[in-house]
Amino acid sequence: MITYSFLQHYWWFIISLLGGLLVFLLFVQGGQSMLFSLSKSDDEKRLLVNAFGKKWEYTFTTLVTFGGAFFASFPLFYSTSFGGAYWVWMLLLFCFTMQAVSYEFQSKPGNFLGKKTYQVFLFINGVLGTFLLGVAVATFFTGSEFSVNKGNIAGLGAAGPVISQWQNPLHGLEALFNLRNWMLGLAVLFLSRTLAALFLVNRLDHPALEERSRKYVLYNGLPFVVFFLIFLIWTLVSEGYAVDPATGAISMEKMKYLNNLIEMPVIMAFFVLGVVAVLYGIIATLLKPKYSKGIWFAGIGTVVTVTMLLLVSGFNNTAYYPSSYDLQSSLTIQNSSSSEFTLSVMAVVSLLVPFVLAYIFYAWRALEKKRLSLQDLESDGHAY
C-alpha cells in the first residue's frame, strides 16, 4: 500500500538516485580540471574541450533537476541548507554559472575575455564544483550548526520570523574546518577526474591522448580510493544521528551508519557491488592495455555507490541533515518532507523519468556512434 512513509522513502530514493547520477556526470567537471595538464598542444586541448563540451548540459540539467526535486520533496532542506550554508551553495552556483557559457563562447571571435579565460573558468568549475559538492554531501554525515523552529513565523522565537537559523557566522564555510568533509570533497574531485580519464579512454580517437588518459586513471584513481576509504571507514565507525521512530526524537548512536548497512542488507549488497564495479573499471583499464570499457563499470558503479550512500544517510531512522548545534532540529525524511498529496503528485510525475532516460540514451547514442577525432570537429559544423 502506498503510505505517507512509503512516499517519503520513495522520494529519498529518487533524490539519492539523482545525486548518484549527478556525481557520475561530474566526469565533465573532472575533465575540465585536467584541461591544462592532460593536453600537450592546442589541438589536444581543443579535442578535450569538444569531448566534454557535448556532455556538459547533461550534468548541468541534472543539477537543476536535483535542486527542483529536492525543493518539491523536502522543502525544509531547501530552506535550511540553502538559506543557511549560504556561501557553499553560492560559490557552487557561481562556478557553474561560469561554466555554462565557457564552451560556447571560448572559440568564438569577439568573445571579450579571450579563449584562455574561458578555459580557466572551466578549470575553476572543475575543481571547485566537485570539491564543494563533496564537502556539502559530507555534512549529511558530519552535521552542521543550525536550528529549526517553525514557531518563529508566528512570533514564538526571539530571533525574528525566520524558521531556519544558521548558527555559525561563516554560513557554510565552516564545513571546511572539518577534516572528514575534506576527505569526501577530495574523493569526489579525484573520482570525477578518474571518470573523465576513463571516458576519454573510451571515446577518443587519438592514441597519444588515450595513452596519457590511461596514466591519469592511475594518478587520480589512487588518491580517490585513499580519500574515499578514509571517509568511509571514519564515517562507519563514527557516531551517527538516529531517529526514534515513535517520537521523532534524535539521539547519537555509536556506529550508526555501519549499523544501517548491517540492518539493510540489500543496500549493503548494492553498495559493495557499486564499489567493486568502480574498482573493477579502474583496475581493468590499468591492467589491460586495449581495454576501454572501464567507464561503463566505474560510471554505473558510481551511480550505485553514491545512491546507496545517500540512502544510508536517510533510511533506517536516520537524520539525513543533522544539526550538531541542536540535535532536535536535525532534518529527517519525515519532518522535512512535502505533504502526502504533493509527494503523490510528484510520484506520478516521476514515472516519466524512464522515458526521459530513454531519449537521453537515444540522443547520446546518435551522437556517439564512433570515437571523436580532430577531423570530426571540422565536419560537424558546430565545434568549440
In sequence order, what are the residues at sequence separation of 6 or more whose Cβ sits closer than 8 angstroms to the Cβ of residue 45? 35, 36, 39, 119
What residues numbered 80-109 form the site for another protein, per CB under 8 A? Answer: 80-84, 86-87, 89-90, 93-94, 96-101, 103-105, 108-109
The DSSP element (H or E) to which 242 belongs, if any, is: strand 240-243
Name the residue with cell 550534468: 59
Which residues from 353-382 bind another protein, rule CB under 8 A?
353, 356, 359-360, 363, 366-367, 369, 379-382
Closer residue to another protein in complex, CB, 90/179: 90
Q: Which is nearer to another protein, 65 or 259 (CB)?
A: 65
Among 120, 124, 162, 300, binds another protein (CB under 8 A): 162
How far is the C-alpha of 92 from the C-alpha of 81, rounded, in Å? 13
Q: Which of 9, 45, 171, 293 binds another protein (CB under 8 A)?
A: 171
The owner of cell 570539491 is 131
Report the nearest approach of another protein to the CB of residue 234 (Å): 29
- The continuous run of DSSP H or E covering 237 comes out as helix 207-237
Task: Please say which residue, 127 or 278, places its beta carbon nearer to another protein.
Answer: 127
Please state, in angstroms and rounded to a whole number, the distance separating the CA atoms of residues 28 and 179. Answer: 26
Contacts of residue 38, defined as CB under 8 A and 6 or more positions apart, other chains included, come to 44, 48, 197, 200, 209, 212, 213, 216
**Binders of another protein in range 1-20 (CB under 8 A):** none
Name the one range near another protein by CB under 8 A: 164-172, 209-217, 316-324, 325-333.
Answer: 164-172
List 6, 177, 296, 341, residue binding another protein (CB under 8 A): 341
Helix (H, G, I), strand (E, B) or coil at 255: coil
Task: Give yes or no for a contact between 30 and 191, defined as CB atoms under 8 angstroms apart.
Answer: yes
Q: Is 154 in the site for another protein (CB under 8 A)?
A: yes
Query: Of 28, 69, 191, 261, which one interacts with another protein (CB under 8 A)?
Result: 69
Could you give the CA distance from residue 213 to residue 54 in angstroms, rounded to a whole number? 19
Taking the C-alpha atoms of residue 44 and residue 316, their distance in angstroms, rounded to an integer, is 49
Q: What's the farthest any 2 CA atoms get from each other in the chain?
A: 67
Terminal CA-CA length for the chain: 52
Footprint of another protein on 175-204 (CB under 8 A): none
DSSP secondary structure string, 217-230? HHHHHHHHHHHHHH
User: In 3D, which of 252, 232, 218, 219 has the Cα closest to residue 330?
Assistant: 252
Size of the site for another protein (CB under 8 A): 83
Spatial separation of the C-alpha atoms in residues 169 and 166, rounded to whole Å = 8
Residue 156 CB, nearest approach to another protein (Å) = 5
Question: What track of x and - describes contact with another protein for positions 124 through 153 (by CB under 8 A)?
Answer: --------------------------xx-x
Whichever of 108 and 254 has its CB closer to another protein, that residue is 108
Q: Which is nearer to another protein, 83 or 223 (CB)?
A: 83
Nearer to another protein, 99 or 181 (CB): 99
- Give the footprint of another protein on residues 37-66 (CB under 8 A): 54, 57-58, 60-61, 63-66
Which one of 135-143, 198-206, 323-331, 342-350 is the stretch in contact with another protein (CB under 8 A)? 342-350
Smaller CB distance to another protein: residue 266 or 359? Answer: 359
